[in-house]
Amino acid sequence: MVEEGVADPEAIDTAMCLGYRHPMGPLRLTDVVGLDVRLAIAEHLQRTLGERFAPPALLREKVARGELGRKTGQGFYPWP
């Protein structure tokens, strides 16, 4: 949704917290876990389950730029 310009990370996370009662939105959680970790998981799923599970280009681009989330100070969100 971020890649397609449908919504920004904060709106997506807010919707998941309010609509599904998640304690943390999926993009903030991805920042905490690490975008590189999420990319590795998605690539594994793609290899084993097919193209439907291919990681979004935006995730690949962020990892290539070194935007790995909280551990680097930038992911979908800036981290102090």
> 19 in a domain, yes or no?
yes
Q: Which domain holds residue 42?
A: 9-64
Does this model's pTM top 0.85? yes
pLDDT in tens, 33-71: 999 999 999 999 999 999 999 999 999 999 999 999 999
Residue 76 counted as domain residue:
no
Torsion region of 31: left, alpha or beta (phi above 0 gives left; psi -120 to 50 gives alpha): alpha
pLDDT, position 22: 95
Give the per-residue pLDDT at 40.
98
Residues 53 and 44: beta-carbon distance below 8 Å: no
Helices in the chain by DSSP H: which ranges?
9-20, 26-33, 35-49, 57-64
25 to each of 49, 70, 75, how far by Cα in Å?
25, 14, 14
47: domain CATH number is 1.10.1040.10
**Closest-CA residue to 79 (of 34, 19, 25, 22):** 34
Please report whether residue 1 resides in a domain.
Answer: no
| In a domain? residue 71 | no
